[in-house]
Structure 1
Amino acid sequence: MSSEAAPERASSNAVVGWFSDLRVRTKILAAMSLVTIFVTAACVLAVARMGDMDSRLDEVRSTNVTNLTLLGEIRGHQALINHYAAARMAVGSDRAAQASIGEQQAAAIKGLDETLERYRAQPKSASEQKTLDDFTGFWDEYTGAMADIAAGREPTIDFDAVNNGMETSVAKLAAETAASADAAVADAHDSFESARRQVLIVLGVGLLLSIALSVLAARSITRRLAPVAEAMEAMAAGDLTREVPVEGSDEIGMMARSVKKATLSVRETVSAMADSAQLLAQSTRELSRVNDQTVAGSEAVSAGAGSATNSADEVSYNLQTVATGADEMSHAIQEISQSAVASAGVTLEAVAVVAETTETVSKLGASSQEIGDVVKTITAIAEQTNLLALNATIEAARAGESGKGFAVVASEVKDLAQETAKATETISGRVQAIQADTESAVAAIVRIGAVIERINQFQTTIASAVEEQTATTTEMNRNVATAAAGAKEIAGNIGQVSSAAEQSKMAVAAGQQAASELASLADDLHRLVGRFAFK
């Protein structure tokens, strides 16, 4: 018996394990989906069964109710026919009344025939069909007898028996139709009860499965959350030795795995902190010893730096004195250089003025030459005019009396030409004198320019020498200033060394204080680490 139960338990455990590995979201959605599936199935089943019941009720309405209605119409037509038959017997031999009642009775018979045809077209059971055949037989006998009466023949049937037979048949058909309707209603009621049971069963099974699935999911979550919570509480209390069981691959399993990793990490960290606390205490003691040695060295450096600072200050003072003298000499040379430069500037300005004057006088000579050329042109014109006047006089003399007036004009033109020639000779002489004076002035100006050029060369030589001396003095002054600055910088650096030595002493003192505080901190750290159990 136990050997058969073992595979079942293994299979059940496999299913539970598979379900536990599902994600929490999947588990919750699975339970909700199962409820939704069964509710949907119940709704679909209910709708289907309600459709079946509606079809059956339609069948009852279209068949049984219609049949009962047609049977009622047949009974009505049958009552009218019997009424008209009694009326015909009552009127006796009154043919008009007989004819009128006969027409009404014939209409009632026709109506019954039509209603009977409609009833025959309706679906019926075998017993109803047999009863209908019986009614049809009685009805055929009745209509045959009525035809005999209309033809004046004596009917051969018993009307009472035939009417009773038709009444009995109609009543039996009505009873059978009512029984069929009752059976259909009972069948519909049974179908409703069956549908209700099926819906309740589906809902019940779905509810039970959903509850079972929800309980399984809840147990799967809470059962594996409890050890994780206990391990975290132990970690909060300082116990890092608690192991966290890891089961499943869902969120709970992932959280358990993360908590386990965190516990191991914290355990390793605390262990490393304990080791570091011990090393820190040892290092603090070593640091205190080194600080003591550093204090002694800083005091020695500070004393040496003080002596070096005094020597550097004396060197810097002497160099400052030399730099001051060099600076004064540089100022004197600069004044000489400025005077030489000013003199050279004046000389250059004189050279420029001489050049400008030479150019102006040269232009004057050129202008005199141009005036001479113009005078020559005027002289040539005057000579030509004089020649023309002479020719005119000769021609006027040849003309005789008619050329006297013209001869007078020619004589005046000749006199004017001679005066013009004399004036041009005078101008030409004066222009030649101006040209001679201009050439003399140009020669004198050229000699003045040569003298000024030599003076300019001497001034340039003096300025170059002064500038060279200025550069030499400036360089010497710069070197002395650089040396003085270097000496001052050396003194400053030595002062900084001394200050750094003092600051080093202060820093070492602060380091000793920090080392003491660090030792206290190491003790506190060792005490805090001791609160955790990790071994």
Structure 2
Amino acid sequence: MKNLKLAHKMLASTLILMASMLAVTYVAVTRLTAVNSQVRQLVDQTIVKRTLETELHVKLLSSNRAQKNSILSPNDEQSKEFAAASRASMVDARTILEQLKELIAAEKNVGQSAAVEALGKAIDGYQKLNDEALELSVQNSNVKARKLLAGDIQRQMDILAAHFRKWVGAVPSKEAPSAADVARLKTLYEIHTALLELQPNTTKHIESSNDEEMTAQEKKLAELQDRIRGGLTVAAGGDPTSEVEPRAALTDLNNAFANLFRLSRSDTNNRSTAISLGAAKLAADEFVIKISDLDRLLAKEATTGRDLSEVAYQNGLWWILGVALAGVVLGGLFAYFVTQSITRPVFEVRNLAQAMAKGDLRQRIRLKQHDEVGQLSDATNTLAESLTLIVTEIQKVSEGLAGSATDLSGVSNQLLSQSEHASLKATSVASASEQLSSNISTMAAAAEEMSVNVASISSASEEMSINVGTISSAAEQTSTNVSVVSTAVGEISSSFADVLKDVREGSNVAGEASRMADSATETIQLLNRSGAEISKVTETIKMIALQTNLLALNATIEATSAGEAGKGFAVVAHEIKELANQSAKAAEDIARKIEGVQNNTRQAVEVIQNVSQIIKDINASSGRISLSVEKQTRAATMISQNVGEANKGVGDIARSIAEVAKAAGDMSRNVAEAARGATDVSRNVGEAAKAAGGISSDIHGVSDASRSTNESASKVNDSAVQLDQIGKELRKLVGRFKLSTEDASAV
């Protein structure tokens, strides 16, 4: 270690430091790579799989919801839209499932692979049932059958009922009707009863899903139509022309029933509902269970990944700390030995240099090193030897120089003592005269300058006095203007506060009006629904009146059959018939009026909704105005405060300027008087300066001669003193060095 060069030692230290850093870096990279691998496993795979699993669950639920909406929708277009949405969600679910399978297959996780395969099978079963339910839902056969019943069939039934009522009214009201009239009325009663039974039996056919029940209903409906068709001739009273339209209506009714039976037997709504609430629901529950199983596996994987990441982090941390600590210890030991091999010899060289600086040239360095520090110690020993020789030579020279300096000093002292007296006198007189002349000249120049300056000051003071007066007036006017501005800003702030209050009251009124409009809309909608209920009641009243009319006809027939005993009952039956006709007419009038009320109600709802929207817009605008006014109010308040402070400051400035104006007037008068005095002083000092100049020129000749003699003597004396001083310094310097006996004798 002692014989290594410093460059090699520093290189070794650097290499050890770099090796320690590389070791720490390698361990850190290795361990951080392990941590990163665990984190990427958790982020790039586990979280992605859970995200795909969640999206898959959402898509399947969306498909199920769209399927139910398609089944429940009475409109074909809406059913098709919901069906398309359900199928699209299933396609997306399939795509997500394939992505999930690819991720799990790449990891070769047996448990997750089995879970995702089971999920795929559950989705396959659900998709098959879902497609079947959607195919049925878009047909809407039951809904179309109900629309057909409420449309074409009801229209043909209304035509037949109108003819039946017309024929009943054509039968003359007699106390003793003929047998033909009785037979006609009885037939009308029977065919009208059959007509009334068509609708409930048709409804049962639509609602039934049993083939036997539907066949029984079809037979019964056919019998009712045959009964009506067979009684038309008798009911028409033998008038073939009046049978044409009813028979055509019966033909159309029969065709409509054929279409209705076809739609009803399709039974797509009931079948799709049964699938959706039965097998499809079980399949949906199955895929939800499978998704839950997969979710538990993914959650377990996420927990395991988190634990492994934590373990990898802890291991990496301990490895990094251990390697770093080992590098620090190794580097510290090597640095200690290198430092000792360098600093100990350097300290010896330093000690020798310090001793030499203090004058001790007796010490030497004894090192057995061949590096740069050893070479430095050898060079230092050589320097000490050289200094010893130089100091010895200087000591001898200084002793000879001391003798010469003593002789020269004696001669120079005699010469200096002879010239000192004359030189001192001449110098004193010359200095005094020059000082007097200089002072008088300076005083004259200063007096002239002071006179000019005082005149300028006087003029400036007068002008400043005038300007200060003007400024004082302007400051007073500014203070007045600022007061006016402060008052105006305060009034603006108050106006803003009033506007803000009005806007808030308007906003509250608009909000209350909006709520009242909403309440009125709800009330009118309730009224509209009540009108619809009343319409249903009037239909019921019409049906009851028709049935009452038929019962009156039946009673008339029975009274006629009873002969004389039934005359009184026949009269009552006739009155009941009239009342039934009046009830039917009244019900029709009520229905027309209710329909008019409903139309007006719908228009009122639209108008109120428009008014409500306008009120809401006004309310929103009021809110924005309120915010703007609040901002302007705050700004006006701040301006008012700032202007008030400015007004106070301007008032203070105005008072200060007035005081300055007064002081400026006084100063102007004083400066004018000073200007006149300065002019007199300048004139007197100029005359004194001329006299002093003459005295100074006479003394300069004597002073120059004395100065020359004195300078020569001083130079000789200075040289002697300097030479003696040099000798003393040399002896003093040489005396500081401590020389060894061997060195002195050698010299």
Scaled by the length of structure 2, the TM-score of the pair is 0.29
Scaled by the length of structure 1, the TM-score of the pair is 0.39
